[in-house]
Amino acid sequence: MSRIANTLSQLKAHGRQALIPYVTAGFPFADVTPELMHAMVKAGSDIIELGVPFSDPMADGPVIQKAGEKALTFGIGMTQVLDMVRTFRQTDTTTPVVLMGYANPVERYDIKHGQPGQSSAFARDAAAAGVDGVLIVDYPPEECEQFAATLKANGLDLIFLLAPTSTPERMDLVGRLASGYVYYVSLKGVTGSGALDIASVAEALPRIRQHVSVPVGVGFGIRDAATAQAIGKVADDLVTSDQERAEMELKAYEAETTRMGLQTEINKEEAKNTNLFVSGARPFVMWVCAFALAYAAVLEPIARFVAQVWFGYAGAFPVIDTDLTLQVLFGILGLGAYRSVEKIKGVANK
């Protein structure tokens, strides 16, 4: 018996529905997901649904889309998501974890990490990391019987979506292939859209159970405690996300992005002004150096005479070659000034 099936069986024996919260991997920060998962368990989560970020999520509403976009900017992909599950499993070996995502990251992982003649690298590595189930939104049951068999061979449950528009034939096929539980999309649309019609959900679930033997979880539209309590009276499991927290995180992220954009423009303008200053200062410094050297040449006879007279009166110092001394001195000054200008210009151009 899988970890998912065992958890749902124990909850049913105690007269409870499973609470299955969703969180996007890598949101709001790249390294915080394992800690969030542990916090979700402490808060009462029975199964964790971990979203794999993807650039074209057809089933996700604007909040989850933006959360995924932010995670992608952190470089979060399937490899990083599996690492997060592996980290979570170091201290939690009982809470089931379901990956929810799309076909592209799974197939790309197989291409990148697979070997000719071997089964799915994704299924192998997901099972090794501690994943218990997989929900691929754009894998219809008609097209993934082999994928279902591969997951089953690796001890993973394949979870399917059913919708208000699903036909009896589609429900039969899902009932034959699905394991763990079935995810019923409670409304027509993407996540977070529209108001949940409790009566319609209550009417649909008995029809689904005629075709499906595994528990039926209800999601899409469960965004607060009130809707969760209402759905809990008719569903086997509840799939939900903290919409309010996610919206707050996204607003903070957008505000920070705006601030960083403005700061970037300010930095560009400052660099531009510095460049203009350096462009004007460079010939000035070169002319000063040239004037200093010419001035030294004019003063050389006077400087030699003063030095000889001065040291002659002292009687204890040798006569200094003033010509060589002045040339070295002004040469060092000129080289230092030129290098300083070049350094300033290099910083300004970064």
Structure tokens at 44: 């009462």
R_g over Cα of the chain: 35
- CA–centroid distance for 80 within its chain: 9
**DSSP three-state, residue 134:** strand
Q: What is the pLDDT of residue 154?
A: 96
Residue with tokens 């390294």, as numbered in its chain = 31
182: closest CA among 54, 68, 20? 20
Q: Are 51 and 24 in contact (CB under 8 A)?
A: yes
Determine the longest span between alpha carbons in the chain, in angstroms: 120
> What is the helix (H) or strand (E) element at residue 219, kind and residue range?
strand 216-219
Task: Measure the CA–CA gap between 130 and 127, rounded to whole angstroms.
Answer: 5
- Tell me the backbone φ, ψ of residue 252, rounded to 5 degrees: -65, -40
Peptide bond into 116 cis (omega under 30): no
Task: Measure the CA–CA gap between 64 and 184, rounded to whole angstroms.
Answer: 18
CATH 3.20.20.70 region(s) of the chain?
Answer: 3-241
- Tell me the backbone φ, ψ of residue 310, rounded to 5 degrees: -60, -50
Residue type, 331: G
Q: Are 95 and 45 in contact (CB under 8 A)?
A: yes
Topology annotation, domain 3-241: TIM Barrel (3.20.20)
Q: What is the pLDDT of residue 63?
A: 84
**DSSP three-state, residue 19:** strand
pTM for the model stands at: 0.68
Task: Measure the CA–CA gap between 125 and 80, rounded to whole angstroms.
Answer: 12
Q: Dump pLDDT digits (tens) for 220-232.
A: 767 677 777 777 7
Task: Compute CA distances 60 → 65, 68, 100, 131, 143, whole Å.
Answer: 6, 10, 11, 22, 22
Task: Compute CA distances 303 → 265, 290, 297, 327, 328, whole Å.
Answer: 53, 19, 10, 13, 15
Q: What is the pLDDT of residue 60?
A: 80
Task: Measure the CA–CA gap between 113 and 101, rounded to whole angstroms.
Answer: 18
Which stretches of the chain score pLDDT less than 50?
A: 243-249, 253, 256-257, 260, 313-322, 347-348, 350
**DSSP three-state, residue 75:** coil
Q: What is the pLDDT of residue 269?
A: 58
Task: Measure the CA–CA gap between 95 and 71, rounded to whole angstroms.
Answer: 24
Q: Dump pLDDT digits (tens) for 150-198.
A: 999 999 999 999 988 899 999 999 999 999 999 998 776 555 555 667 8
Q: What is the pLDDT of residue 295?
A: 55
Q: Enumerate residues 6+ apart whose C-beta is below 8 A from 14.
A: none
Q: What is the pLDDT of residue 243?
A: 47
Residues catalogued as catalytic: 49, 60
Q: What is the pLDDT of residue 235?
A: 80
**DSSP three-state, residue 28:** coil
Structure tokens at 86: 């592996």
